[in-house]
Structure 1
Amino acid sequence: MFKWLSGKKAEETPKAHSLDLEELMEQIKAELNVGSDLVFRTLKKDGAKLIFCLMNSLIDATRLDDIVIRSIMNHKEIEEWTCEAIAKVLPIASITAVNQLDEVVGGINEGKVYIYAEGQPYGILADVGKQLVRGLEKAETESLVYGPKISFTESLQGNINILRNNIKEEDLCTEDLTVGKRSKTKAKLVYIKGIADEESINTFRQRVQDLTVDFVPGSTVLGQYIESNSWSVFPQLMTTELPDRVSIALYRGKVAVLMDRSPDALYGPTSFFAFFESTEDVYMRWNMGLFLRILRLVATFLSVLLTPAYVAVLTYHYEVIPSPLLLSLGESRARVPFPPVFEALLLEFVIELLREAGARLPTKVGQTMGIVGG
């Protein structure tokens, strides 16, 4: 819907003097520095001029021609080209009046077309951006047996749409945020009013707004910037690609942050035991879900403690090992020219090397590497 800058009418807006068209185009060119990708188109009618400024790679040319230009040319109601008259005839939901150069440049970088009528104190931004969004797909990193398997995409509006379809709640609140001083990536703070703790909401909002970095690649990196203790080996915020998991977290009073061009959602605050939970646990019987959580917890402690326990027993505490097993270990250790600690570290390093190779190599090569390494 068309709205005036700062909610004021045209005669109340600051009278930024009407620029000469050539002067305006030179200012926009100087700010954007994009060369041939920046395009200016001009329409003339009864001596009046109307310019369209756009980024060729970001706009949908069909929408520009069929919706914007054709609507302006075919409406005979427009006696004089003014921004207010043009905004009324454009069948576009997102139209904003602007009279500041930084707003114009920011809008063009977002895939909007800047329309300026000669002699006017302001112009308008109309959203004709090209939507590069992949379809909804099955989650890759968090595979499930039970429950919805749909995953987030890189579209911020699409991800909000998925959440609103999951949560039919009038108290579901979304707040606009901007991440990155230079990149100005759009983000959304999401929570359910009345369930989420106000202190958590304010903490998330304040930490994102206080960021002074130029660019944040995605939600996982954002979590590292805003967490309480960056030196801790334990993560303090959870990232997930499952909308269902975020929906459950919001109903438990958590606060989530979604970023544009990022297929992951960030939510918190979280506890240590939250990282041992899976979305599947909600859809199972309570006893099976509890058993699996305990199993994951035990497996974590075994993976952390088993290697140092092996080294300690073989190096200092032979009496812990039963005699038949000690004889077998002694015979096998006699042919190994390395001490137990070096052997354990070498084995851990090789396992990590195989894991990284399996994850980075092409699928068929990675599978072969894993089998041969095992």
Structure 2
Amino acid sequence: MSASIDASQVALAFEEHFGATPDGVWSAPGRVNLIGEHTDYNEGFVLPFAIDRAAAVAIRQRDDMTARLVSSFGDSEVVTVDLSTLSRDTMSGWTAYPLGVVWVLDQMGVAIGGFDLFLHSTVPSGAGLSSSAAIECAVATAFNELAAAGLSQNELVLVGQRAENEVVGAPTGILDQSASLLASDGHAVFLDCRTQESQLVPLDLAAAGLLILVVDTKVTHAHATGGYAARRASCELGAEVLGVKSLRDVSTADLPEASGLLDEETFRRVRHIVTENQRVLDTVQLLADAGPVAIGDLLTASHVSMRDDFEISCPELDLAVDTALAQGAVGARMTGGGFGGSAIALISVKSEAAVSAAILNAFATAGFTAPDIFAVSPAPGARKIS
């Protein structure tokens, strides 16, 4: 299957595995975070957009409590689960994402029952493009319809986040699920993570002669382990010492005083969040006033902050950003949780081949694994596609 989702192919693959036609096919996109990294769990501001790479699930309901799941990746073996014994401790591997959503819905009193499920995804795993949230949102959208649960999009956001937090074990905020569920074609989603209020912000790259190039460094990351949790703990410590509910309540004007109250590392973590929140607000304003060509310096400043203050970049990400900028990119930054994953570069359409070639050459010269490089467009959110 190609990068674009073909509902008929997903349905056909379901039939090949389960010998019957599915009740429907639902899709949810991955996302690129244009700007606003690690601000979500600090009740701050983010500006993601959905991309034209997605997860799709074909599902058929059963009349028992058995779930059978299979995907187009991995070993393609059907995993069979007794839903009557489903618990957080019994879920692992890729099936933890769809089953985690089922578990959360059950905890909310939404009766799912047995089902057969086939999953296909064109969102690269571990690339910082939210492949996990795409799966969660596709499954949540499907069962919201199949079970006639009547949950709003904002409620489905929280279902996906809870599955990620409580089942997968990744302490993420609502950014990824919000982007996947609330997105619209040609727009970014400006999200206030404290109030969960959102608005669509026009992101008409084509009209400006621009595109966003994604550089998947192939350095994989896992949010459930390692540095992500440590950064979250630093932010919580900073908020506690500064006497605020969250770092959302700290402004750039408060930073000089904060530097005297926090140890040096915690202060740098706090400074990233505070300045990143301001960069998101400035980006939204610039997009309204002058369009995407004006936001490059903010994107690049965001990368410097993540590299130096939050320390979540890596040599491959830095090389991708530096090379794109040297080739005339309007702006560039790493995107996603960090410690690997992808960088993005805002470039002119006509420079795509040259920028891509320069990055490939730079990685080869440095002895790094060759990255995957592809353009993305702001895409629609989760929906039924067949």
Q: TM-score, structure 1 length as denominator? A: 0.26
Structure with the largest fraction of strand: 2
Larger radius of gyration: 1
Q: TM-score, structure 2 length as denominator? A: 0.26
